[in-house]
Chains A and B, each alone.
Chain A
Amino acid sequence: GAVVSQHPSWVICKSGTSVKIECRSLDFQATTMFWYRQFPKQSLMLMATSNEGSKATYEQGVEKDKFLINHASLTLSTLTVTSAHPEDSSFYICSAQRRDSYEQYFGPGTRLTVT
């Protein structure tokens, strides 16, 4: 149990376009989902925390108008990278957490390349 999926697993887009990444908890209800960014050979950096039915909380330095997060249901959160630029190219990872649990289950990640 506790499987988290992400779609797509990789995406290439042109500069100026928007890209949506989905994160789904397949076999449990996730009241909280997290979005991370991982640069090559570096650690994960938390971008934002989202709770079902409420606005996401962004970490310092993360542009909320650029990285739109929606957590519309207990099994789905989406991250939309708006007006993507090459510097947004990265590996984006989501995780999901059950209510009253401190354990996060991670998705496989989405590789975004902006050309």
Chain B
Amino acid sequence: AQSVSQHNHHVILSEAASLELGCNYSYGGTVNLFWYVQYPGQHLQLLLKYFSGDPLVKGIKGFEAEFIKSKFSFNLRKPSVQWSDTAEYFCAVGTGGYNKLIFGAGTRLAVHP
């Protein structure tokens, strides 16, 4: 069965620290990859996406992610986090003609000033 694993359920960082959130998926075919963010009390917003091409993709707010096909991974990174990055982050894999999304369990990030 298809699945998405996010290794860190809860991450606590100080401002200016670097961030890396792991995401691995299991699916044998072609996938589209996404990272979504959910700020407290708000709806899901797209951070970045990968469909094809350059495996290093840049998103909004200084986030980037790297697709490593051989490792079935799509890790999210940010060199220096801010307090406003406190949110829940979801990795998602899209498959099939309608791009149905399978979400990881999410990672709660808390950034302390």
Contacts across chains A and B counted by CB atoms under 8 Å: 46
Name the one of B45, B101, B106 contacting A34, with C-beta atoms under 8 angstroms. B101
Which chain B residues border A102 with CB–CB below 8 Å?
32, 49, 51, 94, 99
A68 CA / B101 CA spacing, docked (Å): 20
Q: Give residues of chain A (78-109) contacting chain B, Cβ–Cβ below 8 Å.
A: 93, 95, 97, 102-109
Give the shortest distance, in Å, between B5 (CB) and chain A (any CB).
Answer: 11
Residue numbers of B with Cβ under 8 A of A are: 32, 36, 42-46, 49, 51, 90, 94, 98-106
Whether B90 and A106, one on each chain, are in contact in the complex, defined by CB atoms closer than 8 angstroms, is: no
Give the Cβ gap from B87 to chain A, nearest Cβ, in Å: 14
A49 to B36: give the CA distance in the assembly, Å.
19
Q: How many residues of A contact B (CB 8 A)?
A: 21
Chain A residues within 8 Å of B46, by CB: 103, 105
Specify which of A49, A95, A104 lies most central, judged by the most chain B CB atoms within 10 Å of its CB.
A104
Distance in angstroms from B50 CB to nearest chain A CB is 10
With A44-B101, A102-B32, A103-B46 given, name 7 new contacts (CB 8 A): A4-B43, A43-B90, A43-B103, A49-B100, A51-B98, A102-B49, A102-B94
